[in-house]
Structure 1
């Protein structure tokens, strides 16, 4: 989508990044607050039941946030327009840890790495305690918010689209790989 285009009133700024799910756009909400818009890849939505599972995953995320889990990217809405489906977030989808590593020559300072690891671990513990899992923890799904906190984005979405079940065990292994990667950076 072009700079200045809008999705459900969220004006796109032109800054984008690609994820496994589609294309994220930095946006500004109708209230003038930074937001994000993920245009989901239509091929991922073609499987029978994919849209229903996606709605269930987004609903679960919203319930988690309402129960006080703060380390997830806050979902504002899920919008379908023609054959397109957009996930709208109440926070900017950039920068990710992957972005920061690329900008910093593959290195984060020790304090930043520790913050990312502690906050993502705390969020995963809360998600797992709720009987859910993330399913895709890696530097591209960890967003550093404007206040410096780490937010996990795309929780459960890939598995929902594929009809698979995310597991806490895979999340722990993925978090350990993230920790190893940050330690080696």
Structure 2
């Protein structure tokens, strides 16, 4: 693994309507942890959900997992609370970046918060441009990535849904969706 002073960190954005944005980010996180990198995953929406990826993260000594948020916000009954929670999680994310403790940080579902206007794309992009250490890798996931975030990213992947099991009446499946 390259030393931090010899590494160029990259910013990846996984967005789009299709499945696999978070799963792809977690794959990269586990790959980095497998190489001994320090990894932090911060989930904006998942809340108290029990997931296989969080359970698997415990196998790595240098991986922190923070499942935060109040649940799936598109069914919200309290948008003010969702805004407050998202802003608090965003402040937590900035603290983790500023700590310089991690080689890779995943901001899972942050693009949703930006899409809802709770954290502006401009604010996220400016923070990345101005404060992310040059050696740090950062992954942002979720639908509706802001244009400003796409602009500051090094790699942007848009997941496109062609077909989904849910359309056939198959609900979220343990080991596949969570």
TM-score (ref. length: structure 1): 0.27
Report 1 or 2 for greater relative contact order, CA contacts < 8 Å, sequence distance ≥ 6. 2
TM-score (ref. length: structure 2): 0.28
